[in-house]
Structure 1
Amino acid sequence: MTSGTLEHANLSVTQIDRAAGLLQELLGWHIRWRGDHHLGGETAHVGSDDCYVSLYSREDVAGDYEKGQPLNHLGLRVDDLDAAEKVVTAHGLEPFSQGQYEPGPRSFYFFDWDGIEWEIVSYE
C-alpha cells in the first residue's frame, strides 16, 4: 500500500488577483508561479512549499457556480479560526455554519465571489 497527500487543487475563478489575495492573507501562502495557460487565459499557483491551489481564469470563466456541481467545498486548515474569520469578513465575504463537530475541529464555511464554497477548520 502507498500513502499520499493532496498536492494541489485547480479552480477556475473570475479574478485571479482577488482569489490569490484572499488565500495569501488567510493562510500566509505566496504565489509559487504565475503565467499564461496553454489553453488561453492565465494561471497562478498560490500555496506553501508543500501544497497549493491553482487558480485559472480567462474571459469565458463566468463564476456563479452551484454548490455540489461537482465540488461541495474545499477545506483549509488554519491555526487561528477567529483570525481567519476576520480575514474572510474583511474581504466582504460572509461566514456561516460556525461550529464544532465530532470528533473535534471547529470550523466555518463561506462562499467566495464565484460561488465556490470553502470550509475553514482548526484543531486548536
Structure 2
Amino acid sequence: MSVVDTVQLLELRTKKAAGLIAMLRKEKAELQEKFDLVNTHNAELEEYAETFSTSNKLIEESISKAMENLSSIDGLDDVLLMDDTALELEAAEGFTSGDALAMEEDIDLDSLLDDSHTL
C-alpha cells in the first residue's frame, strides 16, 4: 500500500469518525431532551402524590372527626326511622342500584302531556 493510499484511507476513516461523532451528538441531544421531559413529569407526579397523600390524610381526619361527633350523640342508634322515610330510602337505594331501569311499565306520553301545564 502506497503512502497516498494510506493517506486516503486515513482521510476516509477520519470522515467516518466525524460523521459518527456528529450522529452520536445528535442522539445524545435527543436523549437529553427525553430525559428532561421524563424528569419534569417525574417532578409533577411526585408533587401530585404528595398532594394526594395530604388530601387523603385530611379526608381521613374529617371522617374520623365526623364519626366521633356521631358517636357522641347518645341514643342515635336507637332512633327508628319513620315508615315514609324508610320507604323513601329504600326507593332511593333501589333507584341507585338500577331498579328503575328494570321497570317494565310503559310510560304513556299522552297522559304526561295532558298532565303538563301549558306555557
Q: TM-score, length-normalised on structure 2?
A: 0.20
Higher helix residue share:
2
Higher relative contact order (CA 8 A, sep 6+): 1
Greater gyration radius: 2
Higher strand residue share:
1
Q: TM-score, length-normalised on structure 1?
A: 0.19
